[in-house]
Amino acid sequence: MTGLLRHDDGFDAVYCGWTYVTPDGSHVFEEFAGDTGDLFAEHAQYCFSVLHTYVVSRSLVEKAGGFDPSLQTCEDWDLWQRIARTGARFGGVPEILAAYRMRADSASKNARQLLADGVRVLTRGHSTDPRIPKPHPVYPDGFPKEGLSKCKLHLACACAGYMIGKGEDASDLLDQLGGRIRSDLNPYEIGACIFRHAMVSSGRPISDWGGLRSNLKTLSDQFLDSLEAYSTSPFLAKRTGRVLNDHISVFATDRSFRGRFRYFQARARISAHRMLIQRGGGFESI
């Protein structure tokens, strides 16, 4: 990673792939986005990667202002977003070089605080940021605000997954977002998101995941009912519930975890093929 950063003048920062590690040493949910270049749009909309997957020069961190001590969580995401806002160009190393150990007592699983801080970071990404005196050349006012509500809902689903994995009721979590938001949500994306974060938060080995089915269903059903009403997305709860059940059924009985999860990720992407990402003045369909 440092070699790429030193010898390629086109990159200001480099990131690598990473994986969660279960208590029994299994690697699950491997991640490498593969995107390179100007990644402000990505960092404005979601936490693109985890803290220890990035390599960047000290001068660029100082230019961006360093970590924000007012944030209890998400301070790394906030920093990378600001670095991206400077116009920095990111390179990627397609190898799993970082690990994130799953622990039920992890401080990052304070879901309500994570949602509160994450909403602050998202809001900053969709507006001007006075901490960066020279604004992004394409997004001087931040990423377009039209997509902010949906980004908040996706973050809330991840936080709900953390709560559900710890056996907590997340049905009132959406109250933190204020009034209702109308947004078309993809059941495959939401189901995969809740499942992944619930399993991570549980801190349990894969062999125990099947035993979590009953509790996961009860708590996720409660949250999904709230999400459907909050987002006014018809039949979202029922459709997403099926996706969650598919995940549990597959991963509780099939050890070929990586391929199966990638199948569900691909299915989510295909079902969302009409989503539009605004880039500059035009739109790119993916």
- Domain end, chosen from 101, 131, 160, is at 101
Q: Is the same domain home to 152 and 271?
A: yes
- Domain end, chosen from 101, 118, 136, is at 101
157: tokens are 């689903």
Q: Is the same domain home to 155 and 235?
A: yes
Residue 96 in domain: yes
Q: Is the same domain home to 160 and 252?
A: yes
Counting the structural domains of the chain, the total is 2
Q: Is the same domain home to 148 and 270?
A: yes
Residue 284 in domain: no
The strand pairing partners of 55, in sequence order, are 14
Residue 27 in domain: yes
Q: Is the same domain home to 71 and 157?
A: no
Residue 135 in domain: no
Q: Is the same domain home to 29 and 149?
A: no
Cβ neighbours of residue 174 closer than 8 Å, sequence gap 6 or more: 156, 226, 227, 230
Q: What is the pLDDT of residue 108?
A: 55
- Domain end, chosen from 101, 133, 158, is at 101
Residue 116 in domain: no
Q: Is the same domain home to 192 and 255?
A: yes
Q: What is the pLDDT of residue 252?
A: 62
The strand pairing partners of 183, in sequence order, are none
Q: Is the same domain home to 238 and 173?
A: yes
Helix (DSSP H) and strand (DSSP E) numbers for the chain: 10, 7
Q: Is the same domain home to 7 and 80?
A: yes
Could you give the C-alpha distances from 28 to 251, 257, 276, in angstroms and in order?
11, 7, 29
Q: What is the pLDDT of residue 109?
A: 63
Q: Is the same domain home to 79 and 205?
A: no
Instruction: Please report, as a single letter, which amino acid is at residue 117.
Output: D
Residue 172 in domain: yes
Whether the Cβ atoms of residue 179 and residue 212 lie closer than 8 Å to each other: no
Residue 114 in domain: no
Q: What is the CA radius of gyration of the chain?
A: 19
Which pTM value belongs to this model? Answer: 0.86
Q: Is the same domain home to 149 and 220?
A: yes
Tell me how far apart the alpha carbons of residues 189 and 166 are, in angstroms, rounded to a whole number.
21
Identify the domain containing residue 182 by its residue range: 144-279
Whether the Cβ atoms of residue 1 and residue 97 lie closer than 8 Å to each other: yes
Residue-by-residue pLDDT tens, the chain, 286 positions: 988 888 878 899 999 999 999 988 889 899 999 999 999 999 999 999 999 999 999 999 999 999 999 999 999 999 999 999 999 999 999 999 999 888 877 655 689 999 999 999 999 999 999 999 888 889 999 999 999 999 999 999 999 999 999 999 999 999 999 877 777 889 999 999 999 999 999 988 888 888 888 889 999 999 999 999 998 888 999 999 999 888 888 876 654 444 444 544 444 443 443 333 343 433 332 2
DSSP 85-142: HTT-EEEEEEEEEEEEE--TT-GGG-HHHHHHHHHHHHHHHTS--TTSSS--SS-TT-
CATH number at residue 91: 3.90.550.10
Residue 18 carries which DSSP code? E
Residue 21 carries which DSSP code? E
Residue 34 in domain: yes
Q: Is the same domain home to 81 and 181?
A: no
